[in-house]
Amino acid sequence: MRLEAVELRRIGIPLVAPFETSFGVQLDRDILLVKAITSEGEGWGECVAGEEPTYSPEYVDGAQHVLTNHLLPRLFERDELHAEDVFDLLRPVHGHQMAKAAIEMALLDAQLRARGESFARYFGAVREAVDCGVSVGIHRTVAELLRTVGGFLDQGYRRIKLKIKPGWDIEPVRAVRERYGNVLLQVDANTAYRLADAKLLAELDPFDLLLIEQPMPEDQVLAHAQMAEIVGTPICLDESIHSLQAAADAIELHACRIINIKPGRVGGYLEAQRIHDLCASHSIPVWMGGMLETGVGRAGNVAMAAMANFTLPGDTSASDRYYRRDVITEPFLLHDGRLRVPAGPGLGVALDEERLREVTTSTERITREMSRATTPSR
């Protein structure tokens, strides 16, 4: 196919409730949606970069800039383009995995819609619905946390993940374990600890957690292997795993026993698929992370989570975990603690154009003609 134009659409949507992590509080989201207009039809992608570079170095304004000025020109140059070519074509641009992932996703959607194949089928999915977990933010009090967790368990979520930070770790975990018995439970520190905190984190061992996610900063992969000598709970990496190579090295170093896969963090669904396969070959279970996606990103994530080695419940919650009204016509609903894997062509979801208009804050259209006129030849 040929990429004719790309629409970069920014939307602003409120979260149903504030979401606090060790790196900040989120009240609403400013999201970049990418529509690829190709010779074979259209496709959608979602960029998971946040408003500020606090989860990772990427942020949404930067993603839009790098797409416009550095990524799209490299794709417009080609007269014949497949989603499978994008990763290598964009390799000369370092980093910017979330921006790259968004355009690759839109092209994959266009390509699969054109041939009537679902994301799930393309990924070799082995199940028609996926077990759902939910990520629970830091609360002001343990009593409020218990109420929130109880509400999610009533809705049917099959696994609870508690966000932790220094000063909000052992007590909330103890309280949830005591109140809610043997529920599947894990924690996520989003890099908030240091190796010197290993003994403190070992105090979580008695609570039989599935895993502790990214206790230390992303570049401290070796320190995670050292922490694993002191902490009994399995360590899972999120932020550190920015590529297939990073995953291979972390596994070799014994820095983690489990990996959180986020397609946006690794540069796209195709790199995520390679990480899934690598982990499977090393008996490392994986689970699908979440970046507070709209139904667009959620659809791709749920499809990928149906692959064989996604054996732990993911952060792929229902649409209403984050948004009162999603931007797709049929939001993701929990059925007995699971989400159904879309079976229609491509992402298998339709944009709710009316809702989209309501939340759009800006629209930029980049065409191959514009790109020709403004980019130096390579």
Q: Is residue 293 part of the contact set for Mg ion (CB under 5 A)?
A: no
Residue 137 C-beta-side C-alpha neighbours within 13 Å: 18
Q: How many whole angstroms from its chain centre is CA 369?
A: 33
Q: Which residues contact 240 (CB under 8 A, 6 or more apart)?
A: 214, 218, 219, 220, 221, 224, 246, 250, 255, 256
Query: Among 104, 238, 271, 326, which residue interacts with Mg ion (rule: CB under 5 A)?
Result: 238
The window from 19-27, 197-205, 297-305, 359-367 that contacts ligand NPQ (CB under 6 A) reads: 19-27
Q: What is the DSSP string of 30-41?
A: EEEEEEEEETTE
Please give the biggest Cα pair distance in the chain: 64
Residues 303-332 that bind ligand NPQ (CB under 6 A): 315
Task: Tell me which of 135, 186, 191, 220 binds ligand NPQ, using CB under 6 A.
Answer: 135
Tell me if 191 contacts ligand NPQ by CB under 6 A. Answer: no
Segment lying near Mg ion (by CB under 5 A), choices 125-133, 176-184, 231-239, 267-275? 231-239
Compare residues 103 and 284 and give the one whose CB is closer to Mg ion: 284
Question: Of Mg ion, ligand NPQ, none, which one does residue 191 interact with (CB within 5 to 8 Å by kind)?
Answer: none
Q: Residue 71 or residue 134: which is nearer to ligand NPQ going by CB? A: 134
Answer yes or no: are the C-beta atoms of 87 and 104 closer than 8 Å.
Answer: yes
* 195-234 residues near ligand NPQ, rule: CB under 6 A: none
Question: In the annotation, is 161 catalytic?
Answer: no
287: contact with ligand NPQ by CB under 6 A: no
Indicate the burial class of 152 (C-beta count within 10 angstroms; 0-12, 13-18, 19 or more).
buried
Residue 161 CB neighbours (<10 A): 26
Closest to Mg ion by CB, 106 or 212: 212
Size of the residue set binding Mg ion (CB under 5 A): 3
Q: Which of 190, 294, 319, 371 touches ligand NPQ by CB under 6 A?
A: 190
Q: Does 238 bind ligand NPQ (CB under 6 A)?
A: yes
Measured CA to CA, the distance from residue 134 to residue 348 in angstroms comes to 23
If one asks whether residue 26 binds ligand NPQ (CB under 6 A), the answer comes out as yes
Give the C-alpha separation, 242 to 266, whole Å: 5
Give the contact letters, 194-213, x = binds to Mg ion (CB under 5 A), - = no. Answer: -------------------x
Q: Minimum Å distance from CB 128 to ligand NPQ?
A: 24
Residue 97's binding partner among ligand NPQ, Mg ion, none (Cβ under 5 to 8 angstroms by kind) is: none
315 binds, options ligand NPQ, Mg ion, none, Cβ within 5 to 8 A by partner type: ligand NPQ
Among 85, 20, 28, 93, smallest CA distance to 58 is for 93
Stretch binding Mg ion (CB under 5 A), from 110-118, 161-169, 236-244, 353-361: 236-244
Instruction: Tell me the chain's radius of gyration from C-alpha atoms.
Output: 20
Q: Which amino acid is at 76?
A: F
d(Cα 204, Cα 187) in Å, to the nearest integer? 10
Q: Name residues contacting ligand NPQ, limited to 37-66 (CB under 6 A).
A: 50, 55
Q: Choose the catalytic residue: 35, 100, 161, 262.
A: 262
Cα 306 to Cα 129: distance, rounded to the nearest angstrom: 7
CA trace torsion 170, 194, 95, 365 (10° rounding): 40
How many Cα atoms sit within 13 Å of 18 on the Cβ side? Answer: 8
If DSSP codes are grouped into helix, strand and coil, which group holds residue 222?
helix
Provide the pairing of β-strand 159-163 with 185-188. Answer: parallel
Of 290, 300, 331, 348, which lies in the binding site for ligand NPQ, with binding defined by CB under 6 A? Answer: 290
Q: Which is nearer to ligand NPQ, 18 or 116 (CB)?
A: 18
Give whole-number Cα distances, 81 to 104, 108, 132, 221, 294, in Å. 11, 11, 35, 36, 27
Q: Is residue 291 a contact point for ligand NPQ (CB under 6 A)?
A: yes
User: What's phi and psi for 327, nearest 5 deg?
Assistant: -100, 5
Which of 20, 131, 169, 188 touches Mg ion by CB under 5 A? 188
165 tagged catalytic: no
Q: Does 289 bind ligand NPQ (CB under 6 A)?
A: yes
Residues lying near Mg ion in the complex (CB under 5 A) are found at: 188, 213, 238
Residues annotated as catalytic (active site), given as ranges: 163, 262
Residues lying near ligand NPQ in the complex (CB under 6 A) are found at: 19, 21, 26, 50, 55, 135, 188, 190, 238, 289-292, 315
